Amino acid sequence: MDWEEFRRWSEKAAGWGADYRASLRDRPVRAQTAPGEIAAHIADSPPESGEPMEDIFEDFEDILVPGMTHWQHPRFFAYFPANAAPVSVIAEYLVSAIAAQCMLWQTSPSATELETKVVDWLRQALGLPDSFTGVVQDSASTATLAAVLVMRERALGWRGNSQGLAANKAVRIYCTDQVHTSIDRAIWISGVGSENLVRVPSGGPNSAMDTQALAAAIERDRAAGLLPAGVIPCVGGTSIGGCDDIAAVVEVAHAQGLYVHVDAAWAGSAMICPEFRTLWQGVEQADSVVFNPHKWLGAQFDCSVQFVREPEALVRTLAIQPEYLRTHGHDGIINYSEWSVPLGRRFRALKLWFLLRYHGLEGLRTMIRNHVSWSQNLAKRLAAEPDFEIVTQPFLSLFSFDHKAPVGVDQEEHTQRLIAAINNDGRIYLTQTRVEGRLLIRFQAGQFEATAEDIDTAFDVIVEIARSLPQSYGAAL
């Protein structure tokens, strides 16, 4: 591809992207294709000769786009958002064009120095003290894995990487059942093992960790000759927004010498609004914190920020410095590859810089406040309907609800049919969760370009479809 062709197709791709985003309200939110339908239109073998870009682009539009679920759709109310503000997309164009490998300071000084600055901007925006510094990771899964590795190494006296786990006592990590499954994966990958992830009981309106039970579990494990290493409390759990009392958890954990890593992957973005910071009171005493600007803040995936109070511990755990990765003659520089599990690093800081400069903190705060207000209003409207129940009250912009099944119809079957009917309708997209064994429908508002009218549409669709379902079901799901 010569540079004129590159220019022409780049302009076409950018134009297509603008048209696509502008047309999203006219598309069904979730892909409406059957399993295998897309694959049936893709060749079984790679081409021996190159094909014209016109043909490739046409197949992209005709074959692949119909099989996409539209995460940037303003009525995407499922999972958590994976926002890509338009200005972030533009920054990603530039990152892709430059295509730098930003693993070391010397491999792209601008990438390293901008990352240091924008991470500190975010620290200030969240109200965290200047005792924290941080790094842009690819995802909260990686940030949590890095934190668990630090917990492991501290508990083992920094011998785990050299001796392996078999030569040492079993390391124990503590959390509740409200945490994301990324914690389980971190436990697997770190070698700690799922049997050493201790689920502390939780309860109350926020499903918060029972800190007395936490203290008892730590004492019990020590007495059994095990090595308590760390606690992972959450702020805004994925299921229903479970929220631990961070101050109380830190007090117990630090009294026992344990490392505390706070998972605020989704809800952390809301902390740019000072009025929400009571939800993570005490976070300033944690050892590390992760939040995902690629969820609610508008930075295109992937972009997760991990704040740490002692970066030396993170570097001691992860850094490997063969001669070919050394930067000679420059003392005190940061090589962020030593703060991350992967060696390779994309220029993720650029989209944060574009995003924060273009929207400003006040623009982003307004977006988040609107989402919270709109979601809470929707919960009130549904609660006022006699056949609906709000089961878990809104935590920020997340809540769960159910619709009363017709007489003689199994409630779980009815809920399953309702959520399937809503998603097959295409106007909105929701997901389900379980609370104390009960299947519920989960709603969250967070898409970057959503409006109050989109939330009104959600109410109309939910009520309309719930009341149009048959009063009895003959066939199985």
pLDDT tens per residue, range 134-175: 999 999 899 999 999 999 999 999 988 888 888 788 999 999
Rounded-to-integer distance, Cα 255 and Cα 422, Å: 49
Q: Is the dihedral of CA 219, 220, 223, 226 positive or negative?
A: negative
Q: Which CATH number fits domain 101-346: 3.40.50.1980, 3.40.640.10, 3.30.70.260, 3.40.190.150?
A: 3.40.640.10
pLDDT at residue 236 greater than cutoff 70: yes
| CATH class belonging to 3-71 | mainly alpha
* Residues 6+ away with beta carbon under 8 Å from 271: 126, 127, 264, 277, 279, 280, 291
Q: Which fold has domain 361-468?
A: Aspartate Aminotransferase, domain 1 (3.90.1150)
Element (H, E) at 214: helix 211-223
C-alpha to C-alpha distances, 322 to 2, 139, 182, 325, nearest whole angstrom = 38, 26, 30, 6
Average pLDDT of every residue of the chain: 92
Place of tokens 């070919």: 324
pLDDT mean over 308-328: 75
Q: At what angle do helices 86-98 and 3-22 cross, to 10 degrees?
A: 160
pLDDT at residue 357 greater than cutoff 70: yes
Rounded-to-integer distance, Cα 460 and Cα 454, Å: 10
Q: Where are the domains of the chain?
A: 3-71, 101-346, 361-468
Whole-prediction pTM: 0.90
CA 182 and chain centroid, separation:
10
| pLDDT greater at residue 460 or residue 316 | 460
